[in-house]
């Protein structure tokens, strides 16, 4: 087996293991490959090595995302379910980007950030409701389905101020979703759209 010294991109095996532990703790359903956490663990050492080897070699490409319809008022919403292996790879990316991107977020940003919660956002609103008599509430419908992906990568690379870790970072950020045999452009989350911007 090749070691870290043979790879063009420095991704530690310890980081991949930490990512696996987080994915396991979050549980979640199987993706398009129908491989559950339990199935993945049947060859845990080999599966984690494949993720590490491909990411550190710059040859990792995300597999299709399983599209699952979930009911919502007035219709349904498509939820993207990545494979277990891809969730681990995404978590490796998130753990690497997190220390760098945290410093550029607005102090009032609470969504999908470490050590922050919706309850903290509510508490901030409670404090401010005594100071202001107006509220601005907005939501960009289907933002991740319609955002300019090339612009997203450009912004991510600019803020990181470093070269991408993999040739795929400058490629299209669109992945493919699979539902009932059909395929279409899909992005499961912001990390998938930024696409492996590690150094």
What integer pLDDT is reported at residue 4 of this predicted model?
63
Rounded Cα distance between 67 and 116, Å, is 28
Give the pLDDT means over successive 10-residue stretches in the chain (199 positions): 71 95 93 96 97 92 91 84 95 87 85 88 91 83 79 76 43 44 40 38
Q: In this structure, what token pair is assigned to residue 25?
A: 């703790």
Which residue in 80, 15, 95, 99 sits closest to 51, CA to CA?
15
Give the span between the Cα atoms of 121 and 117, in whole angstroms: 7
Looking only at the bridges linking them, the beta strands covering 175-179 and 65-72 are parallel
Q: What is the pLDDT of residue 134?
A: 87
pTM over 0.75: no
């Amino acid at each position: 087996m090749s070691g870290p010294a043979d790879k063009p991109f420095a991704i530690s095996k310890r980081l991949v293991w930490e990512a696996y532990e987080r994915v396991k703790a979050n549980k979640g359903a199987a993706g398009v490959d129908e491989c559950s956490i339990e199935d993945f663990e049947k060859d845990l050492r080999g599966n984690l090595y494949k993720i590490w080897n491909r990411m550190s070699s710059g040859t990792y490409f995300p597999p299709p995302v399983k599209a699952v319809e979930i009911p919502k008022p007035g219709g349904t919403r498509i939820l993207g379910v990545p494979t277990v292996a891809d969730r681990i790879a995404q978590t490796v990316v998130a753990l690497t980007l997190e220390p760098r991107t945290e410093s550029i977020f607005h102090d009032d940003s609470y969504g999908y950030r470490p050590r922050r919660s919706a309850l903290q956002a509510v508490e901030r609103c409670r404090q401010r409701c005594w100071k202001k008599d107006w509220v601005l509430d907005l939501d960009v419908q289907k933002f991740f389905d319609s955002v300019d992906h090339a612009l997203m990568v450009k912004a991510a690379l600019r803020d990181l101020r470093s070269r991408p870790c993999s040739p795929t970072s400058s490629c299209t950020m669109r992945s493919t979703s699979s539902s009932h045999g059909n395929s279409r452009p899909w992005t499961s989350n912001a990390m998938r759209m930024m696409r492996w911007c590690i150094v």
